[in-house]
């Protein structure tokens, strides 16, 4: 969902650079409270893994592909603040080094994937985790459902931007239906990759996983 230059007009793109700057600025502050010497390397590895997996487009329906965004995955692994930063680092690398995602559209893409997708994913994760039993499989299941919803959430972000500032004159409602429809399908792939990855990390280093640590803290308090 890397937006090329030209889809959205310059004033709208500029406004979203501002909004994204506010969001990333807040994340810079917030991540300081959520990261420490022990978890910082995981945030780095999360960015690396997301970069790698974003190269792996999987077929969705005839003639369409999708790839991981990784927003819910990152939020569960390293917390939402660091997730916003990890996604932003990946998007910057892709735009400047690999010509993937327009430079003037960076504010738009960062807003959709580093901010909306991360925070919607994290909110869904917390919600689902609350209603499931407190164990590792629940964390993986909650992460998968969060991932499934985080993808159409990013598509919704694009739609808002399209409604505000599309340079084309095509019907808003047609864009809505197609964008959400296709990204609900891509969300299934996102859910599978996220669930498998969270399961693998929980199996080897659950002590590093943000979405699991919080769980344990709650348990510790209850036990005391």
Partner 1 sequence: MSKNRKFYIGGFIVSLFLAGVVSFYASSSPDGLEKVAGDIGFIETAKDHTYADGVLADYGVKGIENERASVGVAGVIGVIGTAVIAGVFFKIIARKPEKTKR
Site residues (CB under 8 A) for partner 1? 1-7, 28, 31-32, 35-37, 39-41, 43-45, 47-49, 51-53, 55-60, 63-67, 82, 85-86, 89-90, 93, 96-100, 102-103, 155, 158, 166-168, 170-171, 174-175, 178-179, 182-183, 186, 204-205, 208
Backbone phi and psi for residue 166, each to the nearest 5 degrees, phi listed first: -65, 140
Are the CB atoms for 53 and 70 separated by under 8 Å?
yes
Closest to partner 1 by CB, 3 vs 118, is 3
In the numeric block, the tokens 């999360």 are attached to: 46
Nearer to partner 1, 170 or 222 (CB): 170
Nearer Cβ to partner 1 (6/11): 6
Looking up tokens 């499989």 gives 137
Dig out the tokens for 145 from the structure.
Answer: 């459902």
> What is the smallest separation between the CB atom of 141 and partner 1, expressed in angstroms?
22
CB of 163 to partner 1, least distance (A): 12
Burial of 9 (0-12, 13-18, 19+ CB in 10 A): middle
Give yes or no for a contact between 74 and 113, defined as CB atoms under 8 angstroms apart: no
Cβ distance 145 to 132 under 8 Å? no
165 touches 12 (CB < 8 A): yes
- The minimum distance between CB 139 and partner 1, in angstroms, equals 18
Shorter beta-carbon distance to partner 1: residue 109 or 215: 109
CB of 133 to partner 1, least distance (A): 26
Q: Which is nearer to partner 1, 35 or 128 (CB)?
A: 35
């Amino acid at each position: 969902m890397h937006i090329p230059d030209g889809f959205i007009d310059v004033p709208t793109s500029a406004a979203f650079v501002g909004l994204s700057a506010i969001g990333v600025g807040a994340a810079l502050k917030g991540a300081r409270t959520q990261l420490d010497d022990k978890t910082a390397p995981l945030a780095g590895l999360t960015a690396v893994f997301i970069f790698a997996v974003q190269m792996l487009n999987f077929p969705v329906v005839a003639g369409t592909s999708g790839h991981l965004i990784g927003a819910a995955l990152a939020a569960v692994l390293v917390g939402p603040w660091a997730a916003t930063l990890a996604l932003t680092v990946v998007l910057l690398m892709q735009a400047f080094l690999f010509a993937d995602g327009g430079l003037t559209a960076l504010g738009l893409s960062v807003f959709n994937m580093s901010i909306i997708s991360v925070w919607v994913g994290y909110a869904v994760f917390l919600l689902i985790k609350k209603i499931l039993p407190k164990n590792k499989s629940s964390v993986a299941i909650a992460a998968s459902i969060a991932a499934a919803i985080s993808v159409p959430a990013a598509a919704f972000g694009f739609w808002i931007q399209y409604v505000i500032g599309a340079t084309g004159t095509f019907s808003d409602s047609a864009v809505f239906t197609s964008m959400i429809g296709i990204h609900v399908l891509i969300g299934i792939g996102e859910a599978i990759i996220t669930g498998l990855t969270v399961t693998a990390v929980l199996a080897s280093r659950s002590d590093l996983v943000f979405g699991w640590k919080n769980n344990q803290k709650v348990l510790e308090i209850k036990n005391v």
